[in-house]
Every structure is written in C-alpha cells, then in structure tokens.
Structure 1
Amino acid sequence: MKPFAYVRPHSVEEAAEAHAGRPGSRYLGGGTNLVDLMKLGVERPETLIDISRLPLDAIEELPDGALRIGATVRNSDLAAHPLVRTRYPVLSQALLAGASGQLRNIATTGGNLLQRTRCPFFQDTSKPCNKREPGSGCGARAGGTDRDFAVLGHSAHCVATNPSDMAVALTALDATIRLHGADGARTVPAADFHRLPGVRPAEDTVIRPGELIEAVVLPPAPAGLPSAYRKARDRASYAFALVSVAAVLELSGGGQVRHIGLAFGGLAHRPWRARRAEAELLGTAPTQENIGRAMDAELSAAEPLRDNGFKVALARNLACSVLKGLVGPE
C-alpha cells in the first residue's frame, strides 16, 4: 500500500478546506470499500481525511415530516431505525440485503453512496479499464466475460454496474443528497447523483472535487405506505445484485396508481429510475396486464451484451412480482 498522510478535521468546513488544499485527497468514513481498493492498488490517495468523528451520525425527523440521515450513520443503525422501518421499509430492506452484519456495522450512508463498482476489470490493475485508467479500454468490451454487466445506459467506454442496494431504494423514494464543498452547500436528487458512463466513466457521480456528503433527506411519508425491495443474486447472501427492484406505490380510493417510484439495480452504471414505466402506470389500475405493459415499455431500451440478455426478462419478472405484491390480490 502506498504511504499516505492522515488528517482528522473537526468540522465539515474544515474537512472541505483540507480536501481543497491537498491534491489527491480522499474522505474516509467506514472505509469498507476505500481501504480494500487501496490494498488492490486501485485507489492511491495522497491524503486520507477522516470524517468518521464529525457530528454527522444523527437520524432526525424534520418539522415537515421528512427524515434527515447524517452521512456517517451506520447502515445497521439506519436499517433498524423505527421511522425507517415503518415509513420507508424499502430502504430498510435494501440495507439488510446489501452486506453482512459485520460490514453494515461499519459502512456509512455517505460511503455506501460513493462505493465503486465491483467490476473485475476495474479491480484488477493488470487489466484495461477506462474507469480506473481513462483511455486504457474496457476489458469487458474487449471480449471479457460480460454476464454481470449493464444492459441499460452503457457506452462503448464502460459497461460496469453500480453496486449499491441503498442507492436504488433512495432513488425510488425521491430522496435528496446534501453536499458541502469549498463553495458552500447544495442539494442533488438521489436519482441524479450517479452518472451514466458516456465518454467519462471514471466519474461515478456528479459530486464536485472536494465535496462532502453531509446528509440524505427522505421526503415525508405516512406509516404503512406500500414499498418493497427485492434482489436477485447468484447466492442467497453476501452477493451483489444481478437485478434488484425498489418500488413505492400509492393508490387512490378508486384503485388507480396515484404515485409510483420504481428503480432498478444491477442494470446500469447508476440506479435506473424507471420513468417510462411510471408514466405508463400513473392513473391506471395496476393490473397484471398494465404492469407487464409498463415494464415492456421501460425495458425496450435495453441493449444486452453477449452473455447478459437474461437480465431483461429477470428485471421484468422481478418488477412485476414486486408491484403485484404491493397491490395485493385483485
């Protein structure tokens, strides 16, 4: 591992200033992803700025009923929080599906959002990867195995997928992310926080150099609002999603869809908000036929690679199952 400097700031402002003044810096929270990548030689920071002791570890209900989640809240604490379990079960379920208990006890909210892809070409420094080394090529595109990669929104430069379960749930929930940098604070919708690869796959998110995640804010939601997270994977635990689905569904008194938030994981470089499917279902009765038609409309844009065409049918079937489960028997 390359030697590095270590800084422990006492405030968010001090952290942002330290990052801005030290090229090659990285923020350190739980370290469950960053430290692994340092051991592999993928990440080689000049300085680690330890934010784990900043006062960002609270979960607070705001006056309007929204829920503010600090960036250093541990995944285990967030999954178990009573307000999360009753108002936002999709988020609790996603977190519990995401990793072992040991990792959830260390991993943070901000770190979960910033974790990097588990693409084997990205993690192997002997292989070409435009995300790790821009311009070197994409190992998967060059004939490597592509079973686990993207079917939506990929480019000639990158077909990697985002590994976060939590981010998929936050996208479906219309959460926002509070950022703080040298130029002050700003808020970004969770659905827009991660990027598609385009010609710059090394840029995972829209976060600007030196910016720090301060908090995630969940919009107000009543207890019992139907929501759910489901994950298809190669083994029953401790595996990243082949496909995952996060759904939030609210029906009118007449049984039509009043509000829907639907997002896929495992299909793209970022959590994929299913806007077309949502538009198809709004104002309609969520029958099996209508749900299936909406999923077909959403997934018509898929461009499977050589070995991952199965993901399209898997995503359709999983989303149909999740939504029908939220609707209940007809």
Structure 2
Amino acid sequence: MKPFTYTRADDVTSAVSEVSRQEGAKVIAGGTNLLDLMKIDVMQPRHLVDITRLALTTIEKTAEGGLLLGALATNADTAYHEQVEQRYPLLSHAILAGATAQLRNKATDAGNLLQRTRCYYFYDTHTACNKREPGTGCSAIHGYNRNHAILGHSEHCIATHPSDMAVALAALEARIHVTGPQGERTIPIADFHRLPGDTPEKDTNLADDEIITAIELSPKGFARHYTYLKNRDRASYAFALVSVAVGLDMEGDTIQEARIALGGVAHKPWRNPEAEALLTGKKASRENFQPVADAYVHGAKGFEHNSFKIELARRSIVRALMQAAHVDQNSNGN
C-alpha cells in the first residue's frame, strides 16, 4: 500500500471541497472494495476523504411517493428496511444475493454502485489491463474470460460490473443524486455506469469531484410481480455469471409493463427497452417470453471461455419472467 493522507469530513460541503482540492483524492466510507484494491496497489489514491460522519444514512419517503436511500445507508439496513421489503422486494432480494452478511453490514449503498470490476487481470498488477493502466491492452480477451462480458464490450475491455444491487436499481429505474462544486444534479441509473468504449478506466459518469448523496426510487416498485435470479458458480459469496432482475405490472395474466435488467454480462447493468416492449399487452407465457429473451441476447458475442453465457442468459430471462409472472415453470416443456 502506498502512503496517503487522510481527512474526515463533517458535512457534504466540506467533503466536496476536500475531494476537489486534493489531486488524486478518493472518498472512503465502508471501504469494502477500495481498501482491498489499495492493499494490492491496484488503486493508489494520494488522499482519502472519510465521509462516514455525513448525515446520509436515512431511508425516507419522497414527496412523490417514492423512497430516498441515503448514500451511507448500509446494504444490510437497506435490504431489511420495512419500506424496501414491502414496496421494493426486488431490491431487497438483489442486495441479499450479494456478498456476505458481514460485508453487507459494512458496505454502503453508494459504495455498492461504485465498486470496481472483479476481472482477474484488473486485480493482477503484473498483467496488462486497460482499466487499471490505459493503453496497456486487455489480457482477458485472449486469456481466461469465463466471467467476462458478452454484451457492450469493446476491443479495449471485456470486464463486467459486479453489483447485484445495481441490476435491481436499473430495473427500478432509480435516480442517483450527486453533489459537486457546481451544485447538485440527478443522474438516471441508465446513464450512471458506462460501457468501456475507448475509456475503460472510467466506470461511471460521476465526476472526480462529485460524491453520491442519495439513491431515489420511484413510487412503482413492482411488489407483486418481481424476481431476482442469480446464476453463479457456488451458492453464496460469488459474483453472477448471469443475473436477471424482473419487474412486471400486470392486470390478470396480461402484462402492462415489463422491466428487465441483466447482470454479469456487461460493463454495466444491461437493459433493452425495445425487447421489453415486446411484452406490452401480451399474456404471460413461455411462448411470449422466448422472443424477448432472444432479443435481449441479439448481437451478443462470447469469447473462448464464456460463450455459454449467451444461452444461459436466454434461458435465465425466460425463467425469471415466469417466476415474476407466477407462471408454472413446468408448462410447455423445458
């Protein structure tokens, strides 16, 4: 670990000031990802700004009837919050599918969104990685890439975003509240994370001198018809090979609106609104779900070790939709 300086902020204004003033500064709260990366020299911030004293832990209703999650609310507190469990069970289930109880007790909601990829080569400083050191190449493309992206990747990076929570937030169309020297702004979750393109070192559209203050959920939580399906190599403490978050608005057995987000397949939670629209006005059935799954993986490209993800994603989407719509899994074969 490289030497660094440290300050503790007492309010949002001072935190933003410290981050803006100190070159190479990073914000630290739970530290469940940042500290690990500092220990192995993957990240080497010159200055840490501790924001754990900021009054950003509250979870409260908004005037519009939604819910505002404080940036420093822990993953555990969020998952088990009465309003989240009752109104946004998709989010609760997604959070509980990630990490361990100990980590969820420490990790914050904002930190969950900002965690870095778990690509093996990103963590190995002896290998080339454009995300860690731009311009050096992507070792994963011709290396062991079982956990890597099949959608939205580029010739510069095929890493995936590791968060379960972010996948649920994408399906819920959350909005991220941030504050910087220029004031406050709100970023739709769809625009918060980035695809790698030519700048894989940039994970999000959050400016270097901005901090997250809250995550806003709209009133629509899909509490009756939802699911979070996570395929992984072991039952716990493993990142998704493919995960699917589904929220359905239904009248009887007819779908009025569908939201689907995939995890483990791209550099950000993956949405395809055009594919979702195929379900509008349709009866919930395997027959109607299959074209949606096909559309979601259209254009997907696998590599030597992860091409299986394409079919896994297709099957997982159908299964998740059937679970959310309460359709008999044994109907129509498969």
2:30 equivalent to 1:30: yes
CA contact (8 A) 1:260 1:282 kept: yes
Residues 45-100 of structure 1 deviation map (CA, whole Å, 9 limit, x = unaligned): 11000011100000001122110000000000000001111111110011101011
Q: Name the residue aligned to 1:100.
A: 100
Q: Name the residue aligned to 2:82.
A: 82
Alignment of 1:139-150 (within 5 A): 139-141=139-141, 143-150=142-149
CA contact (8 A) 2:222 2:247 kept: no
Alignment of 1:236-255 (within 5 A): 236-253=235-252, 255=253
CA contact (8 A) 1:157 1:199 kept: yes
CA contact (8 A) 1:259 1:282 kept: yes
Please state how far the C-alpha of 1:329 moved relative to its aligned partner. Answer: 3.4
Alignment of 1:202-217 (within 5 A): 202-217=201-216
Would the alpha carbon gap of residues 152 and 26 (structure 1) be closer, same or farther in structure 2, given more than 3 Å must change? same
CA contact (8 A) 1:276 1:294 kept: no
CA contact (8 A) 1:121 1:139 kept: yes
Alignment of 1:1-330 (within 5 A): 1-141=1-141, 143-221=142-220, 224-253=223-252, 255-329=253-327
* Higher mean C-alpha displacement, 312-321 vs 126-135: 312-321
**SS of 1:161's equivalent?**
coil
Counterpart residue identity of residue 8, structure 1 = R
Please state how far the C-alpha of 1:224 moved relative to its aligned partner. Answer: 3.5
Q: Name the residue aligned to 2:332.
A: none
Counterpart residue identity of residue 153, structure 1 = G
**SS of 1:105's equivalent?**
helix
**Hey, what's the Cα distance between the residues in 1 that align with 2:38 and 2:170?**
29
**SS of 2:247's equivalent?**
strand
Residues 277-303 of structure 1 deviation map (CA, whole Å, 9 limit, x = unaligned): 202112222221110011101211201
Residues 142-182 of structure 1 deviation map (CA, whole Å, 9 limit, x = unaligned): x2111110000000000000000000000000110001011
CA contact (8 A) 1:60 1:67 kept: yes
**SS of 2:278's equivalent?**
helix
* Higher mean C-alpha displacement, 225-234 vs 66-75: 225-234
**Hey, what's the Cα distance between the residues in 2 that align with 1:290 and 1:62?**
36
**Hey, what's the Cα distance between the residues in 2 that align with 1:152 and 1:251?**
29
Gaps in structure 2 of 5+ consecutive residues: 329-334
**SS of 2:106's equivalent?**
coil
**Hey, what's the Cα distance between the residues in 1 that align with 2:101 and 2:109?**
15
**Hey, what's the Cα distance between the residues in 2 that align with 1:303 and 1:276?**
19
CA contact (8 A) 2:226 2:323 kept: no
CA contact (8 A) 1:88 1:227 kept: no
Counterpart residue identity of residue 6, structure 2 = Y
**SS of 1:180's equivalent?**
strand
Would the alpha carbon gap of residues 232 and 222 (structure 1) be closer, same or farther in structure 2, given more than 3 Å must change? closer
**Hey, what's the Cα distance between the residues in 2 that align with 1:147 and 1:104?**
26
Counterpart residue identity of residue 303, structure 2 = L
Residues 3-23 of structure 1 deviation map (CA, whole Å, 9 limit, x = unaligned): 111111111111111111000
**Hey, what's the Cα distance between the residues in 2 that align with 1:69 and 1:130?**
33
**Hey, what's the Cα distance between the residues in 2 that align with 1:5 and 1:99?**
29
Q: Name the residue aligned to 2:331.
A: none
**Hey, what's the Cα distance between the residues in 2 that align with 1:302 and 1:222?**
29
TM-score when normalising by structure 1: 0.97
Would the alpha carbon gap of residues 20 and 154 (structure 1) be closer, same or farther in structure 2, given more than 3 Å must change? same
Aligned length: 328
Would the alpha carbon gap of residues 165 and 157 (structure 1) be closer, same or farther in structure 2, given more than 3 Å must change? same
Please state how far the C-alpha of 1:115 moved relative to its aligned partner. Answer: 0.2
TM-score when normalising by structure 2: 0.96
